[in-house]
Amino acid sequence: MLAMGGRAPEFTLPDHTGETVSLSTLLRRGPLVLYFYPADFTSGCTRQACLFRDLHREILEAGLDLAGVSPQSPESHRAFRDKHQLPFRLLSDVDKFVIRMYDVRGPLGFGVRRATYLIDQARYIRAAVLADFRIGEHEAFMRRTMALSAAGARPPRASG
């Protein structure tokens, strides 16, 4: 996991529509919650995505944007988004290049760890949580981040 206060690495990945999107583009609207998850259509990942879907209006009202990253194809992401009515971008990292850059590879390089980063518009990592099986920790992190962002305060430094 990348350190708090460090710069988030720039990247470019295709989203669920096949459109190429960079981190800088995602940050144009404001700070970004970037979350990494193992796979579309798995129970934990579906639960997390639907949780973020249900919070999406509040996330935007707090001045934040949201995007998810996993190693499935844009076609898989599109089907996952459609099935669960996800209103945010899903980015496809088939080669796990960005997953490696953000240091969220699973044990022995297999899989992807469940991690959520808050990245400010200058690309600094302001907060993060790493909790592979504890979806509730990602929810609590998101709720604290939204509350502090809406209040104009600095978000929590780290969790998990």
Active-site residue set:
45
- Cβ atoms of 147 and 141 closer than 8 Å: no
Amino acid at 72: Q
CA 68 to the chain's CA centroid: 4
How are strands ordered across the β-sheet holding 89-92? Answer: 89-92, 65-70, 32-36, 115-119, 125-130
Q: Cα separations (Å) of 74 from 10, 32, 45, 133?
A: 20, 20, 16, 25
Sequence-ordered list of residues with C-beta below 8 angstroms from that of 58, at least 6 positions apart, any chain:
146
